[in-house]
Chain A
């Protein structure tokens, strides 16, 4: 038995040629037979006729399959409403829900299959863009590839349900983070007991920053690579704010978050406090003002910074995430390592979720049009940005703020330790690349040694390459499909840009606007400059000094 799934194969991204559908018991396929054959509509009509009320998954559906389904339904005059982006697509009349399994299992299907030990993913050369009637003898392999994708996803989802049911007595929700908070709520701590502190949210959000990601030196040799085991989960032992916030007199020995004026000595190589300006996050030195978690301010003072508190909020704090963290860590040791890693991590992220939602509605479902704006020329679909006030039981931004601050403090301690007796090159949230040798261990919060890189090119945040055992390992967030050579990295290091042409599918708003799914060409530039987190001086870097003259 398995979970109902589907998978669409297309040529040129936008022309469906085959759909595999597994209802949990029986597999059925729809293969395009001629240029005129609207195979996707054939599949959708079959669903409508035989599977009203079904919920079915596709992997990465919000980026691909659901776009094709939405375009097809729209063109055939059917009512389909995207929810949460396209994570869920609701076909109104037959009550069929198309959901994205990537949000439950955020990794490649190949990785998922290996993790759960189900059918191994097969290979198919998508780039050839062949129609089924052009495949000849290879049609059999293509069909086998499609079938394996469907069956393996279904069986993996089934294993996920089994595991969540066994360990937490719950079934998956729409995303892994929602599932995680549901498990926490059911088995560890009633989230309703955590104060949302919505009236102070403006300050809490100001004091919430992401992880530290900086290039300290742009090129190096013989670099030791370290990663903190489960950085965020290891911080779950820290007390987090759960009580009602109240204003108190400035006092660094207590309190939860504060607005402060800080002076960071200009000779610091690493700025201890995060700072946001025009959407950019960096760690400056000099003089500046902002909101921070008090534990981060406390550590800044320990390091020699001067902190003047302007106003301060205080709340009762308890380490309510600790038991959850310990349990998830024990699950990791038993198996499905990747799953439990993400499951543990996503809890604190979920608490920090934004209160804004894009709400799309069909015209017939809107009673009061106030605040809605039409999405399409025919004015059949409308959109409203909604601010979820009160009724969001899982939004507790102070918890997320606190965990993130604790993780940044621990990361900074590691970076400072590493820089004591060696050079540091790069650090990202929970990693440090250094010439120093650091103590390691297998427990959460301890460092894992990932090996030695012969050479490392650190271009900018999340763009670097490491040469290990003669092979190049590339990190290029947002450009994962782009294969670069060591020469390319050398060229980037000199400040040259690399241009690339890519194709992207239009968004769901684009589908409503154009009444079709289109492939949009765009160029993107891989920039060789350092970006805006630090200032580069040759291969060296230094922190930004505020105020900028």
Chain B
């Protein structure tokens, strides 16, 4: 099992800022066990993250993901993502109610969130996922409500230590 690092009332600065704004609640740290690894998922439940608010707070959310991944930087693998409730129209039942926009695994928190300093063709870093979420209205044009196209529900940061 991965040993949980308690917050002891000291949350990452980005979490503090979001909590003060009423955007997120205190995080939960959930231990997990997989065939290949021991795991820990840190979950921030988000509030009021409509498209406009998500755009406004996206930089702080990215910073939060980075800060949380850094807390467990001694553990090899990390990935992160957002759960998003899509404002599906009645004719778009094929779209999932909750869509996950998940960055790929990396061992360096900075790259996991912001990508490397040089150009790569991949679009699997967390900042790309933020772009994808903000693009929902265009990508699912006519399939999600114009009024409430999406709401970002959760930020999760997953830590994995191979067995």
Interface residues of A (CB under 8 A from B): 278, 355-356, 363-364, 369-374, 378-380, 382, 384-385, 387, 499, 504, 520-525
Bound together, the chains give a CA A361 to CA B121 distance in angstroms of 21
Stretch at the interface among B9-17, B46-54, B97-105: B97-105
Q: Knowing A372-B104, A387-B121, say if A523 contacts B91 (CB, 8 Å).
A: yes
Most buried by B among A378, A379, A525: A379
Determine if B105 and A522 form an interchain contact, defined as CB atoms under 8 angstroms apart.
no
Q: Which residues of A contact B147 (CB under 8 A)?
A: none
Q: Does B7 contact A (CB under 8 A)?
A: no
Bound together, the chains give a CA A374 to CA B92 distance in angstroms of 26
Q: Which residues of B contact A385 (CB under 8 A)?
A: 122-124
Bound together, the chains give a CA A278 to CA B106 distance in angstroms of 31
Q: Considering only CB atoms, which chain A residue lies closest to B34 in the complex?
A: A379
Interface residues of B (CB under 8 A from A): 34-37, 39, 77, 79, 90-94, 102-107, 121-124, 138, 142, 160, 162
Q: Which residues of A contact B77 (CB under 8 A)?
A: 369
Bound together, the chains give a CA A371 to CA B111 distance in angstroms of 11
Main SS of the interface on chain B?
loop
Q: Knowing A363-B36, A373-B105, A380-B35, say if A499 contacts B91 (CB, 8 Å).
A: yes
Q: Knowing A371-B122, A379-B35, say if A384 contacts B104 (CB, 8 Å).
A: yes
Most buried by B among A364, A369, A520, A522: A369
5 contacts between A and B (CB under 8 A): A373-B103, A374-B79, A378-B34, A379-B37, A387-B121
Q: Which residues of B contact A525 (CB under 8 A)?
A: 91, 142
Please give the distance in Å from A213's CB to the nearest CB on chain B. 20
Please give the distance in Å from A506's CB to the nearest CB on chain B. 9
Bound together, the chains give a CA A441 to CA B103 distance in angstroms of 56
Bound together, the chains give a CA A382 to CA B124 distance in angstroms of 13
Determine if B122 and A523 form an interchain contact, defined as CB atoms under 8 angstroms apart.
no
Determine if B79 and A373 form an interchain contact, defined as CB atoms under 8 angstroms apart.
yes
Q: Knowing A371-B122, A379-B34, say if A524 contacts B107 (CB, 8 Å).
A: no
Please give the distance in Å from A78's CB to the nearest CB on chain B. 14
Q: Considering only CB atoms, which chain B residue lies closest to A501 in the complex?
A: B91
Among B37, B93, B105, B122, point to the contact of A521 (Cβ < 8 A).
B93
Determine if A520 and B94 form an interchain contact, defined as CB atoms under 8 angstroms apart.
yes
Bound together, the chains give a CA A371 to CA B124 distance in angstroms of 7
Most buried by A among B34, B36, B106, B160: B36
Please give the distance in Å from B26's CB to the nearest CB on chain A. 24
Q: Which residues of A contact B142 (CB under 8 A)?
A: 525
Please give the distance in Å from B37's CB to the nearest CB on chain A. 7
Closest 5 CB pairs of A and B: A523-B91, A522-B94, A387-B121, A363-B36, A379-B34
Q: Which residues of B contact A378 (CB under 8 A)?
A: 34-35
Q: Considering only CB atoms, which chain A residue lies closest to B94 in the complex?
A: A522
Q: Which residues of A contact B123 (CB under 8 A)?
A: 385
Most buried by B among A356, A374, A378: A374
Please give the distance in Å from A420's CB to the nearest CB on chain B. 39
Bound together, the chains give a CA A95 to CA B77 distance in angstroms of 31
Q: Which residues of B contact A523 (CB under 8 A)?
A: 90-93
Q: Considering only CB atoms, which chain A residue lies closest to B142 in the complex?
A: A525
Q: Considering only CB atoms, which chain B residue lies closest to A504 in the complex?
A: B94
Q: Which residues of A contact B34 (CB under 8 A)?
A: 363, 378-379
Q: Which residues of A contact B124 (CB under 8 A)?
A: 371, 373, 384-385
Please give the distance in Å from B1's CB to the nearest CB on chain A. 16
